[in-house]
Structure 1
Amino acid sequence: MIALHFGFGALEAEFWRLVFVMTRIAAALLAAPLFGAMTVPPQVRVMLSGAVAVLVCAWTDVAAPPSLLSLDGMLSVANEALIGLTMGFVLQFSFAAPVIAAEMIGGGMGMSIATTADPVSGAHSPALGQYFSVVLTVLFLGLGAHLDWFSLLVESYRTFPPGTAWFTPGRMQLLTSFGTQMFTTALVIALPVTLLLMLVQIMTGIISRSAPSLNLFSLGLPAGVLAGIAALIVSAPLLTDRLTDLSETAITQAAAMLER
């Protein structure tokens, strides 16, 4: 009797290779601030991961471990997930800087209590933080920085093929140094507005000492809010430049993680 063989073994091996490649991409999309948002359905992330994985499988010679369920295979999958999470987490530092700056500005304006539920992260954030995040997102997408990030994600398979040592203590130190840059950038963004708010608070304190009969809260809070809004309007061009540089910094930091 002649047994028919349809050659499904090669197809199954290609399928597991695609799944293995999708691990790094899916982890990066999950950790990225835009694609990992709660408003993005998981089905969309899976389809996007599969589409990018098909391109990676066609452009590179990435090979899946012989047995994914073995100890070596599970360690390889964990390493791929760690690389992807790091590539996405680098962007989180850049997108967190405007939110920290908004906390500083909101505290000076007396609008710290003006918090709303952020539909992107699901947490409560200041109203100014959502405004800064929207502006940064528009600039990030408008400049095509997301395409550069996808390019770096694909390039990571050539620079660091699966199975190679990657996440060394030196790269952990490099990742933590990005946190320092995040706080520095947040301070630079909030500095013009906070300086003006500090002058308004000093003037309010002088007036309250000169005329103790005046109600400090009824005078200082409206003055701080109006001064903060005026400072935000005046510094809007500067804010756009800072957020544009922040988008470039995000891609530069992601590229620095791929350097040997």
Structure 2
Amino acid sequence: MVNLFETFPAFLLVFVRVTSFFLMMPLFSYRTVSTTFKVGFGFFLALIMFFNIKAPALEMDGVYYLLILKEALIGILLGFMAYLVMSAIQIAGGFIDFQMGFGMVNVMDPQTGAQSPLMGQYLNIISLFFLLMVNGHHLMIDGIYYSYQFIPLEQAWLPLGSEHLLQYILKSFSTMFMIALQMSLPVVGSLFLVDVALGITARTFPQLNIFVVGVPLKIGVSFLILMIVMGTMMISVSNLFKLMLTTMRGIMNLLGGL
């Protein structure tokens, strides 16, 4: 029979890592997801994980409290990397908003409580639906489950000062910007051509008030291009999901010293 007093310290470490991951993880970290659900779901998920991993026997001494901090840091870092990669969608929307003339218009995101670009919020909602449709949230939960194969509970240190870890984070950050540029490039490039055409028109017909004509024209062209390239954008979003999972795996490899 399993002794609860012997297994509770290891279970608590699993619970800390899972709930810390939910603090930053896309979708589960949003305000509209109640705290009661997060804690309850994290508890039962940690319970399932605990009975499927080889949990060591631990004692609640001074080293144990350092292990709790280590587990919280792992969960927050993994969730932050997933959230960082998904932020490419918001950045792409910001690029599009700037060219459309919506650069001064921000909306309050009820999920995060922060201001976000108008088109970035629109693309983010579509991408979240796409993430749920392809069961991407299941893959993220799989990531935190398999993290124990890379970073065991008894590992007392994390190589946070490693040069390879910092380079990997910077590389993921630059890749996220590249994907954001790929997503926004069709609309931004089309609007650049519209700006060039409006500039030529303004020089050809000085009596025409180009500012009155240009703003609605750019907005109309933007929505037309968005409808045409939305399928291509979703391909970039699927690549973004792959990058998110690859980044999480790479971070786990580096934190585990593999």
Taking structure 2 as the reference length, the TM-score comes to 0.91
SS in 1 for 2:103: coil
Matched AA of 1:123: A
Alpha-carbon distance, 1:103 to partner: 0.7
Matched AA of 1:53: A
Say if 2:23 and 2:76, in contact at 8 Å, map to a contact too.
yes
Alpha-carbon distance, 1:196 to partner: 0.4
Alpha-carbon distance, 1:52 to partner: 1.4
Q: 1:64 to 1:78 in 2, by over 3 A?
A: farther
Q: Which runs of 5+ in 2 are unaligned?
A: none
Query: Which residue is equivalent to 1:91?
Result: 82
The correspondence for 1:255, drawn from 229, 249, 254, is 249
Query: CA–CA distance in 1 between the matches of 2:94 and 2:44?
Result: 38
Say if 1:101 and 1:187, in contact at 8 Å, map to a contact too.
yes
Query: Which residue is equivalent to 1:82?
Result: 73
Query: Which residue is equivalent to 1:127?
Result: 118
Query: Which residue is equivalent to 2:144?
Result: 153
SS in 2 for 1:133: helix
Query: CA–CA distance in 1 between the matches of 2:12 and 2:70?
Result: 14
Matched AA of 2:174: T
Query: CA–CA distance in 1 between the matches of 2:232 and 2:204?
Result: 36
Aligned CA RMSD, in angstroms, stands at: 1.8
Q: Which runs of 5+ in 1 are unaligned?
A: 1-6
Matched AA of 1:139: F
SS in 2 for 1:241: helix
The correspondence for 1:24, drawn from 17, 20, 36, is 17
The correspondence for 1:42, drawn from 17, 35, 38, is 35
Alpha-carbon distance, 1:63 to partner: 3.1
Alpha-carbon distance, 1:64 to partner: 6.1
Map 1:83-232; keep pairs closer than 5 Å: 83-164=74-155, 165-168=157-160, 169=162, 170-232=164-226
Query: CA–CA distance in 2 between the matches of 1:65 and 1:122?
Result: 39
Identical residues among aligned pairs (%): 25
Deviation per CA, 1:32-70: give whole Å up to 9, x if none.
1211111111111111111111112111122364115x2
Matched AA of 1:226: G
SS in 2 for 1:40: coil
Structure of greater Rg: 1
Say if 1:136 and 1:247, in contact at 8 Å, map to a contact too.
no
Query: Which residue is equivalent to 1:4?
Result: none
Taking structure 1 as the reference length, the TM-score comes to 0.91
Query: Which residue is equivalent to 1:51?
Result: 44
SS in 2 for 1:116: strand
Most deviating of 117-126 and 154-163: 154-163
Say if 1:103 and 1:126, in contact at 8 Å, map to a contact too.
yes
Q: Structure 1 segments of 4 or more deviating over 6 A?
A: none
Matched AA of 2:176: M
Matched AA of 1:203: A
Say if 1:109 and 1:197, in contact at 8 Å, map to a contact too.
yes
The correspondence for 1:245, drawn from 235, 239, 244, is 239
Say if 1:22 and 1:50, in contact at 8 Å, map to a contact too.
yes
Query: Which residue is equivalent to 1:3?
Result: none
Most deviating of 174-183 and 164-173: 164-173
Say if 1:83 and 1:167, in contact at 8 Å, map to a contact too.
no
Query: Which residue is equivalent to 1:233?
Result: 227
Say if 2:9 and 2:60, in contact at 8 Å, map to a contact too.
no
Matched AA of 1:62: A
SS in 2 for 1:255: helix
Matched AA of 2:248: A
Query: CA–CA distance in 1 between the matches of 2:66 and 2:191?
Result: 53
Matched AA of 1:25: V
